[in-house]
């Protein structure tokens, strides 16, 4: 296992959103992205333009393009809270053939039926039995918000 793989961690959409919101609170501590590379003067001029007539800067404008895009994505597609997702992932991992990667993907997608659920396992060399699929769907439905 390489050093990069050891440092990787699976996250739910809610956890990603929390991390991005924290980067709004501490803009100087976290890398902003390419806008810092253009020089502080240009950055301040762009901020003044964004400020416009209202006098307030949109908090998301403090984020780089990549972080804004990520924030929009997780806000749009987040289906359950972090607490609910963690609880559901814990239950899913107890099922024999469900790995941690599968559990996080299921929490992300929240499949509604067996057809959608089978797509999560499409790359694997095994097929889940109807009973296993039904058990997974029952767990998902119990945690659906």
Q: What domains appear along the chain, each with residue ranges and CATH number?
A: 3-77 (no CATH), 82-143 (1.10.150)
User: Tens digits of per-residue pLDDT, 56-76?
Assistant: 666 777 777 888 888 899 999
User: For 6-38, what is each residue's pLDDT tens digit?
Assistant: 778 899 999 989 888 888 776 555 554 444 444
Q: Rounded distance, CA 110 to CA 85, Å?
A: 10
Residue 76: Cβ within 10 Å count = 8
CA proximity to 72, closest of 86, 55, 58 = 58
The packing angle between helices 82-93 and 100-109, to 10°, is 140
The rounded percent of the chain whose pLDDT value lies above 90 is: 51
- Taking a C-beta distance cutoff of 8 angstroms, is the pair 98, 136 a contact? yes
DSSP SS3 for 82: helix
């Amino acid at each position: 296992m390489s050093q990069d793989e050891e440092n990787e961690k699976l996250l739910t959409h809610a956890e990603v959103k929390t991390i991005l919101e924290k980067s709004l609170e501490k803009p100087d501590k976290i890398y902003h992205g390419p806008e810092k590379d253009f020089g502080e003067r240009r950055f301040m001029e762009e901020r003044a333009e964004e400020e416009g007539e209202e006098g307030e800067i949109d908090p998301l404008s403090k984020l780089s393009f990549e972080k804004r895009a990520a924030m929009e994505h997780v806000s749009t597609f987040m289906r359950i809270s972090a607490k609910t997702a963690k609880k559901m992932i814990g239950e899913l991992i107890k099922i024999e053939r469900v790995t941690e990667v599968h559990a996080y993907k299921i929490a992300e997608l929240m499949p509604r039926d067996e057809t959608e659920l089978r797509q999560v396992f499409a790359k694997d060399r095994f097929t889940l039995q109807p009973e296993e699929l039904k058990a997974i769907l029952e767990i998902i439905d119990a945690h659906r918000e």
